């Protein structure tokens, strides 16, 4: 049976929300279409109309939490004055989600586990990470252009930023008592801003001469 006009996006969102709750409670091993249908308050037939199997519903849940996190980061960074401010907003938002909404990271963990054994989910995960790196690079690029950030390149920097946030968020999701959000954010900011500013020339410093030698090095010895 087809859904009533205008109901399809609503019903799909309800099913995805129910899937997130089931994954957080039972993990992917305990996820069944019957349990999701009961959690969402729909019949198994309605559930199968939207999602053919549990792999499809897991992918939808992962896409939903990823999209929600992206929207939160974008909203937090909207009033940022500069690239360092945008980075601080990113850090704070990601770590708050890890501590206060652990079901998001349960979805990521279950999805990654299945992606190790499923080619289609692995490809979806690769596309998701490629998008995350592009968004990060776009936020960092003004800092590189202004000379506030230095490093090998903005693409490599996006890999490092994402790796640190993933690792710290995982620790916080597994151990809620590890440290408060404020302390975790300060540590992440110190590490990432230190990395991004490493090698930055002081204001007024002269550029290296041709061939990489500084002017002070051109004299004989």
Give residue 150's pLDDT: 85
Give residue 79's pLDDT: 85
Give residue 169's pLDDT: 95
pLDDT band, residue 194 (cuts 50/70/90):
very high
* Residue 160 belongs to some domain of the structure: yes
* Residue 18 belongs to some domain of the structure: no
What gap in Å lies between CA 64 and CA 98, rounded to an integer? 16
What gap in Å lies between CA 169 and CA 166, rounded to an integer? 5
* Residue 135 belongs to some domain of the structure: yes
- In this predicted model, which residue has the larger pLDDT, 216 or 46? 46
* Residue 15 belongs to some domain of the structure: no
pLDDT, average across residues 55-69: 95
pLDDT, average across residues 166-170: 95
* Residue 4 belongs to some domain of the structure: no
Give residue 193's pLDDT: 94
- The phi and psi torsions of 53 (rounded to 5 degrees) equal -155, 175
- For residue 133, the tally of other CB atoms under 10 A from its CB is 18
pLDDT band, residue 8 (cuts 50/70/90):
confident
Q: Provide, rounded to the nearest whole percent, the portion of the chain with pLDDT above 90.
A: 77
Sign of CA pseudo-dihedral 31, 33, 35, 36: positive
Which CATH number covers residue 75?
A: 1.10.357.10
Q: Is residue 90 predicted with pLDDT exceeding 90?
A: yes
What gap in Å lies between CA 25 and CA 35, rounded to an integer? 11
Give residue 176's pLDDT: 83
* Residue 113 belongs to some domain of the structure: yes
Q: Is residue 207 predicted with pLDDT exceeding 60?
A: no
Distances (CA, A) of 106 to 19, 35, 110, 161, 170: 11, 17, 6, 21, 9
| Cα–Cα nearest to 104, from 75, 63, 159 | 63
- In this predicted model, which residue has the larger pLDDT, 5 or 17? 17
* Residue 35 belongs to some domain of the structure: no
Q: Is residue 220 predicted with pLDDT exceeding 60?
A: no
Domain total in the chain:
1
Give the model confidence (pLDDT) of 99-146 as tens digits: 989 899 999 999 999 999 999 999 999 999 999 999 999 999 999 999
Q: What is this structure's pTM?
A: 0.81
Token pair 């049976």 in the structure block, residue:
1
Q: Is residue 214 predicted with pLDDT exceeding 80?
A: no
Domain that holds residue 145: 62-197
Contact 51, 31 (CB under 8 A): no
pLDDT, average across residues 19-36: 94
Under 8 Å CB-to-CB from 68, ≥6 apart: which residues?
104
* Residue 26 belongs to some domain of the structure: no
Average pLDDT, the chain: 87
Give residue 68's pLDDT: 95
């Amino acid at each position: 049976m087809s859904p009533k006009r205008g109901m399809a996006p609503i019903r799909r969102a309800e099913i995805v929300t129910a899937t997130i709750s089931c994954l957080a409670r039972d993990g992917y091993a305990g996820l069944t279409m019957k349990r999701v249908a009961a959690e969402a308050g729909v019949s198994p037939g309605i559930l199968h109309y939207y999602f053919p199997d549990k792999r499809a519903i897991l992918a939808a849940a992962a896409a939903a939490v990823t999209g929600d996190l992206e929207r939160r980061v974008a909203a937090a960074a909207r009033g940022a004055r500069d690239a360092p401010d945008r980075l601080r907003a990113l850090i704070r938002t990601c770590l708050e989600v890890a501590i206060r909404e652990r079901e998001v990271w349960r979805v990521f963990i279950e999805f990654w586990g299945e992606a190790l054994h499923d080619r289609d989910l692995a490809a979806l995960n690769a596309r998701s990470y490629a998008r995350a790196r592009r968004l990060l690079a776009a936020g960092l690029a003004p800092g590189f252009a202004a000379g506030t950030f230095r490093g090998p390149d903005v693409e490599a920097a996006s890999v490092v930023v994402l790796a640190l946030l993933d690792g710290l968020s995982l620790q916080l999701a597994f151990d809620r008592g590890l440290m408060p959000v404020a302390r975790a954010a300060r540590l992440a900011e110190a590490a990432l801003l230190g990395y991004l500013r490493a090698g930055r020339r002081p204001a007024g410093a002269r550029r290296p001469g041709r061939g990489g030698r500084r002017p002070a090095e051109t004299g004989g010895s």
